[in-house]
Amino acid sequence: DIQMTQSPPSLSASVGDRVTITCRASQSISSYLNWYQQKAGKAPKLLIYSASSLQSGVPSTFSGSGSGTDFTLTISSLQPEDFATYYCQQSYSTPKTFGQGTKVEIK
């Protein structure tokens, strides 16, 4: 199975900050990398697919980059509604494994 390692596990940031979350795959996954946002008690929401494609309806403050084994999710200006847990997921091969999550908290 492909292992996905996210960092950091958590971070504290202020509204307006630029936030970067990284995800590393244990082997090359080309661009088959997806990012999700999950708020407490809710289902995950797809933000970015294929490493850098913005899902319809997602604000342009979210962006993704990377290929191969190293990927990044960037929130260019953190908004109050962005405080949540973020997960990466590889869809290159089954099982489609997730990273362990990054909790973004209010500083």
Partner 1 sequence: QVQLVESGGGLVKPGGSLRLSCAASGFSFSDYYMSWIRQAPGKGLEWVSHISGSGTTIHYADSVKGLFTISRDNAKNSLYLQMNSLRAEDTAVYYCARERSSRGAPDYWGQGTLVTVSS
Give contact residues for partner 1 (rule: CB under 8 A).
1, 32, 34, 36, 38, 43-46, 49-50, 55, 87, 89, 91-101
Which of residues 17 and 72 has its CB atom nearest to partner 1 in the complex?
A: 72
Let me know if 51 is exposed, middle or buried by CB neighbors in 10 A (0-12, 13-18, 19+). buried
Provide the minimum distance between the beta carbon of 99 and partner 1 in the complex, in angstroms, as a whole number.
8
Structure tokens at 61: 């403050």
Which of residues 77 and 93 has its CB atom nearest to partner 1 in the complex?
A: 93
Which of residues 12 and 30 has its CB atom nearest to partner 1 in the complex?
A: 30
CB 50 within 8 A of CB 62: no
Provide the minimum distance between the beta carbon of 51 and partner 1 in the complex, in angstroms, as a whole number.
10
CB 3 within 8 A of CB 45: no
